[in-house]
Structure 1
Amino acid sequence: MKRDEHQPPPGVNLGFEDDCVTLPIDAILPLRTLGKNAKSSRKYRQIVASIAQIGIVEPPVVVRNPDKSATWLLLDGHLRIEALKDADAQEVECLVSTDDEAFTYNRQVSRLAPIQEHRMIRKAIERGVPEEKIALALDLNMSSIRRKARLLDGICEEAGAILKDKPCTNAVFETLRKMKTIRQIEAAELLVNANNYSVAYVNAILAGTPQAQLVDSSKQKKVKGITPEAMARMEQELARLQEGIASIQDTYGQDHLHLTVIKGYVRKLLGNARVAHYLAQNHPEFLGEFQTITEITPAEAADV
């Protein structure tokens, strides 16, 4: 029997129920209180302007109250609910979460990244929404809307996919545009591997980019404060760094498995009182190292 392609694979738990529900706002119970300056924040003003212009774009997330009452617990969207209350709204359409852990949900959810915002704006423009209306909804000026709409101009699809949920500023993409396609992909991977999306870092990558990999390869690249000799050294160092990263990526899974097996074996070894006593008496330095291995956490193992 062929499985419906719209249904999740067996064993996969959905994060939300299939359908949104329209709920009375009074039946939604916030799980945290807003700070005293929340309503004076730029984000709150953007939400108010967005609701006034085009309504709720991102539905609040709720979960059924475990006390079986007719109320719902609000996991995400506290500012949106507050803005709706101020607008005298009575109902709101919500996503229903299958996870009742507010901490878990908010820890895992990704806030709107620049590329996601770009795609949202482009989609609205393609639907015929005037730029002026989008600017009012997001509480931004027209030049910002146009700049965000052009964010991926000159950026290859692969680099955009790598950075789609990353907090890269417009200046980062301006620097990436100076690189050819292959180099854009390499640069995007370097940003992600270093978990560093600063302008300074992407400029350092640009400085370490060979002239032949620049869009305008005939124009000598110039980076303020860096001499041509220093840039040549940076190119060499960056090339070695990329080779090192590629080598680590190739063996990471196997190395992590080996470490996990070793950790389990050493823990079992130290669980033998006779072995532990022998090491303490004759090789205390080994005992200390073995104990350190057994205490390695998953996060620390990733750095080994």
Structure 2
Amino acid sequence: MADWLPQHVIEASDDPDVHLAFERQTVSVPISVIVPLKSLREGIRESKKYAQIVNSIKAIGLVEAPVIIADTQHSGRYFLLDGHLRIEALKELGTETVDCLVATDDETYTYNKRVNRLPPLQEHRMIARAVERGVAPTVIAEALGLDVASIHRKFRLLDGICPEAAEILKDTICPMNAFDILRRMSPTRQIEAADLMVGQNNFSLMFAKALLAATPDDQLAKQPKKDKKADANGPTAQQIARMERELAALQTQVKSVEDSYGIDNLHLTVARGYIVKLLSNALIVRWLSQHHQEYLSEFQRIAEMESIAPASATLPIQD
């Protein structure tokens, strides 16, 4: 392919059992010959995520190379497996060519499903490392499409959090507001609360507040006088007792549906697995894209599902 110019070489693994899913060299391909396998949903160009990707590319360039595969029926044309928003952002910025990874497997499941999203605590460490290396918060904010205040808040995320609790929550989706609640507890209570949040797989602000309300006074962190005054209207002993009763009742309800939930979840997992297998076939994806685009969009949403729990806000990933 004369229009492919090798750019970077990717080292192969020493393990003979590991099979590379892409060519070792990235290539430069004209954006005009790349055909997306799915259409962008309506309004995506006005979304915050899309704006963050555009700002990120403007500030630091493209971080993740899009993934393509050659169209065997049309020489010189390539299908886009991953990176639809990135390609759209590059078009908006007037870019004509892009460095791409060339896939060897004709499937899209890996890129939609097997992608690690950055937990809030890892965001903090990434920003802290950048600041330690002399990068100004304003530069980081511009690159990530965030305001400077958000960068400062993420930088101070672990202030007042004991290392043991931070270690427990390092790979979770615990939001920043929940860390604000944990900060009001003693280190021992922080560890207990973090264990409870992980055990219940519940990192919501309301659950964190419930844990704080159930925390004895001797396990609360010492607060400045102005904060104590602000807590004067906090929950009373009667309210705490009522919350404990409601929590016990809720736990009973959860226990009662565990059996049926497991069976239902198994059925849904099998159905989702079948859809994922269908979408791993590029021929089926292309046919759906041409004849039943509405079904393809819904199938892709199902295939990309990680959990029924609501997703937390994270730093932009160049999709």
The answer to whether the 8 A contact 1:168-1:197 is kept is: yes
- Residue 182 in 1 paired to residue 191 in 2? no
Q: 5+ residue gaps in structure 1?
A: 1-5, 243-247, 249-258, 260-291
**Which residue identity lines up with residue 90 of structure 2 in the other structure?**
L
Quote the offset at 1:166 in angstroms: 3.1
Superposition pairs of residues 98-177 of structure 1, within 5 angstroms: 100-177=106-183
Of the three residues 9, 23, 28, the one matched with 2:28 is 23
Q: 1:222 to 1:11 in 2, by over 3 A?
A: farther
2:49 aligns with one of 43, 47, 66: 43
2:72 corresponds, among 67, 88, 96, to 67
Q: Distance in 2 between matches of 1:170 and 1:23?
A: 40
Structure 1, residues 147-170: CA drift from partner, whole Å, max 9, x if none?
111112222334334333433322
Native 8 Å contact 2:66 2:99 kept in 1: no
Paired residue for 1:226? Answer: 235
Deviation of the 1:175 alpha carbon: 0.8
CA contact (8 A) 2:66 2:86 kept: no
When structure 1 is superposed on structure 2, of 42-51 and 73-82 the one drifting more is 73-82
User: 1:129 Cα shift?
Assistant: 2.1
Cα gap change, 1:202 to 1:72, in 2 (>3 Å)? farther
Q: CA deviation at 1:64?
A: 3.0
What secondary structure does 1:167 align onto? coil
* Offset, 1:42: 1.4
Structure 2, unaligned stretches of length 5 or more?
A: 1-11, 268-319
Cross-structure match for 1:88: 94
- The equivalent of 1:53 in structure 2 is 59
Confirm or deny: 8 A CA contact 2:22 2:105 kept in the other structure.
Answer: no
Alpha-carbon separation, structure 1, partners of 2:94 and 2:202: 43
How do 1:244-259 residues align onto structure 2 when only pairs under 5 Å count? none
Q: CA deviation at 1:171?
A: 1.0
Residue matched to 2:211: 205
Residues of 2 paired with 1:172 and 1:52: CA distance? Answer: 33
Q: Distance in 2 between matches of 1:212 and 1:98?
A: 60
CA distance in 2, matches of 1:10, 1:45: 42
Partner letter of residue 54 of structure 2? V
- The CA RMSD over aligned residues, in Å, is 4.2
Shift of residue 77, structure 1, vs aligned partner? 2.3
Query: What is the SS of the residue equivalent to 1:75?
Result: strand
Residue 231 of structure 1 aligns with an amino acid whose one-letter code is: I
Distance 1:196 1:158 in 2: 19
Shift of 1:67: 3.0
Q: Name the aligned partner's letter for residue 237 of structure 2.
A: P
Higher mean alpha-carbon deviation, 31-40 vs 184-193, is at 184-193
Answer whether contact 1:125 1:131 (CA < 8 A) is retained: yes
| Separation in 2, partners of 1:124, 1:108 | 26
- Distance 1:185-1:237 versus aligned 2 partners, 3 A rule: farther
2:67 alignment partner AA: V
* Partners of 1:210 and 1:235 within 8 A in 2: no
When residues 231 and 36 of structure 1 are mapped into structure 2, their CA distance, relative to the original with a 3 A threshold, is: closer
Compare 229-238 and 122-131 and name the one that shifted more: 229-238
| 1:180 aligned partner, one-letter code | S
SS of residue paired to 1:23: strand
Name which structure has the greater RCO, CA cutoff 8 Å, separation 6+.
Answer: 2
TM-score, length-scaled by structure 2: 0.61
